[in-house]
């Protein structure tokens, strides 16, 4: 049977840490808890578990650095990476136990289903997806090819049937926005993947101020002639939204129409609907909210293709005094 090291990074998790640890502690052979600056009872709770190894790590605004530090302390055959807001229920604890007993040595990464996202208002558009959660600590490199041999670098990944419940106490969007903003201001650059995550979090959980602060970062990508087409479109979406919020009408239409010309999505239709709604032109707003829900697909935020345009359609028709039409959309909204 393999030995598994649990590696966690935590900060001020006294409300939920015990719930997480209680659900996995008997499945682990080593507990490594890295604290990044708690001011509550987090470290005390972690230390209450026999054999738990508690380390301090000065927070530098870099989750990868903190996780790498945690992984460096592990001694098990495999490392299970967990967050404090995760829980394994009894059914999935048993699945994990079976996996631990039957793990094939060639497997280097085990993916588990990350679930329960939509129930807790997280910054994700899905309720369940596979994520890498269990990692072989020491990788054995293997040569392949009878001639022109090369090292096999692609990891052996197993998609398990284990489902991890994500049960956060609150959203982390504001924390993420702060990190994104610092990366941009430091001139370190933001990868395509991170910029997409930034854009998604803005549309899913961002406040007006968050869009305004993000404007410069995304403007750089929006006007990049050599940029990836999808990244440029996402950037135009954010810049258009920031321009609308700032009251810069000319800039708003400049970037919004680039998205429409490419292939309109639900988000830009909602933005156009919001523009006309704020102007009091409810009939024009109806056209765009209708398109957001019925004629286009979301690019970043599923809600902007589902509930949000219907809610706005109800508001528009109530403003227009057409309560029968508003009732029809209200009934449709209740069916979602």
User: Given a cut of 60, is residue 125 above it in pLDDT?
Assistant: no
Average pLDDT over residues 155-163: 95
SS3 230: helix
CA 201/CA 70 separation, integer angstroms: 26
Q: Two tokens at 127?
A: 């309720």
Of the listed ranges 113-127, 196-210, 255-269, 289-303, the least confidently predicted one is 113-127
Phi and psi torsions of 153, nearest 5°? -105, -20
> For residue 300, what are the CA distances in angstroms to 97, 174, 226, 274?
37, 18, 22, 17
User: Given a cut of 80, is residue 190 above it in pLDDT?
Assistant: no
Q: Is 92 exposed, middle or buried (0-12, 13-18, 19+ CB in 10 A)?
A: buried
How many Å separate Cα 162 from the centre of its chain? 20
Q: Two tokens at 270?
A: 């909602």
CA 55/CA 36 separation, integer angstroms: 9
Percent of the chain with pLDDT over 70: 94
CA 176/CA 288 separation, integer angstroms: 30
Are 271 and 238 in contact by the 8 Å Cβ rule? The answer is no
SS3 56: strand
pLDDT band at 227 (very low <50, low <70, confident <90, very high): confident
Name every residue whose Cβ is closer than 8 Å to that of residue 267 and which is 6 or more positions away in sequence.
Answer: 203, 237, 241, 292, 298, 299, 300, 301, 304
**pTM of the complete model:** 0.72
Question: How many residues can be counted in the chain?
Answer: 336
Break the chain into its structural domains and give their ranges: 4-166, 173-334
Are 314 and 285 in contact by the 8 Å Cβ rule? The answer is no
pLDDT of residue 209: 94
pLDDT band at 336 (very low <50, low <70, confident <90, very high): confident
Count Cα atoms within 13 angstroms, Cβ side, for 75.
Answer: 4
User: Given a cut of 80, is residue 269 above it in pLDDT?
Assistant: yes
Sort strands 4-10 and 78-82 into parallel, antiparallel or unpaired. Answer: parallel
pLDDT of residue 126: 55
pLDDT of residue 22: 98
Domain 4-166 has CATH 1.20.120.140: no
pLDDT band at 127 (very low <50, low <70, confident <90, very high): low
Residue found by looking up tokens 């702060």 in the block: 178
CATH classification number, 173-334, choose in 1.10.3720.10, 3.20.20.70, 1.25.40.10, 2.60.40.10: 1.25.40.10
Q: Which residue has the higher pLDDT, 285 or 173?
A: 285
Q: Which residue has the higher pLDDT, 139 or 37?
A: 37
Name every residue whose Cβ is closer than 8 Å to that of residue 305 and which is 6 or more positions away in sequence.
Answer: 266, 292, 293, 296, 297, 298
Average pLDDT over residues 304-331: 96
Per residue, the 3-state secondary structure of 65-132, as one string, reads HHHHHHHHCCCCCEEEEECCCEECCHHHHHHHHHHHHHCCCCCCEEEEEEECCHHHCCCCCCCEEEEE
Average pLDDT over residues 36-61: 96
Average pLDDT over residues 144-158: 84
- The phi-psi region of residue 82 (left if phi > 0; otherwise alpha if psi is between -120 and 50; otherwise beta) is beta
DSSP-derived letter for residue 140 is P
User: Given a cut of 60, is residue 41 above it in pLDDT?
Assistant: yes
Phi and psi torsions of 116, nearest 5°? 80, 20
CA 304/CA 273 separation, integer angstroms: 11
CA 290/CA 273 separation, integer angstroms: 9
Longest dimension (CA), the chain: 77
Mean pLDDT of the chain: 92
User: Does the fold of domain 173-334 match that of domain 4-166?
Assistant: no
pLDDT band at 142 (very low <50, low <70, confident <90, very high): confident
pLDDT band at 121 (very low <50, low <70, confident <90, very high): very low
């Amino acid at each position: 049977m393999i030995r598994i090291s649990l590696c966690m990074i935590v900060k001020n998790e006294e409300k939920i840490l015990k719930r997480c640890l209680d659900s996995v502690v008997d499945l682990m052979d080593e507990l490594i808890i890295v604290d990044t600056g708690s001011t509550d009872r987090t470290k005390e709770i972690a230390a209450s578990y026999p054999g738990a190894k508690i380390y301090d790590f000065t927070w530098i605004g870099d989750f990868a650095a903190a996780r790498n530090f945690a992984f460096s302390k592990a001694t098990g055959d495999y490392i299970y990476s967990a967050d404090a807001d995760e829980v394994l229920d009894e059914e999935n604890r048993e699945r994990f136990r079976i996996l631990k007993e039957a793990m094939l040595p060639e497997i280097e990464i085990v993916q588990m289903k990350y679930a329960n996202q939509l129930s807790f208002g997280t910054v994700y558009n899905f309720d369940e997806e596979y994520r890498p959660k269990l990692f072989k600590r020491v990788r054995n490199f293997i040569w392949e090819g009878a001639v022109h041999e090369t090292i096999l670098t692609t990891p052996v990944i197993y998609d398990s049937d284990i489902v991890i419940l994500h049960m956060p106490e609150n959203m982390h969007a504001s924390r993420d926005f702060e990190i994104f903003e610092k990366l941009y201001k430091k001139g370190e650059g933001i990868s395509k993947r991170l910029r997409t995550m930034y854009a998604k979090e803005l549309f899913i959980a961002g406040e007006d101020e968050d869009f305004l602060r993000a404007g410069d970062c995304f403007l750089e990508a929006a006007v990049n002639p050599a940029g990836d087409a999808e990244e440029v479109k996402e950037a135009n979406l954010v810049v258009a939204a920031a321009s609308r919020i700032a009251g810069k009408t000319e800039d708003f239409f400049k970037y919004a129409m680039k998205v429409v010309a490419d292939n309109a999505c639900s988000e830009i239709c909602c933005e156009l609907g919001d523009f006309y709604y704020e102007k009091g032109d409810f009939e024009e707003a109806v056209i765009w909210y209708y398109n957001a829900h019925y004629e286009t697909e979301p690019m970043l935020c599923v809600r902007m293709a589902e509930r949000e345009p219907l809610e706005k359609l109800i508001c528009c028709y109530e403003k227009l005094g057409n309560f029968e039409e508003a009732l029809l959309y209200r009934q449709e909204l209740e069916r979602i």
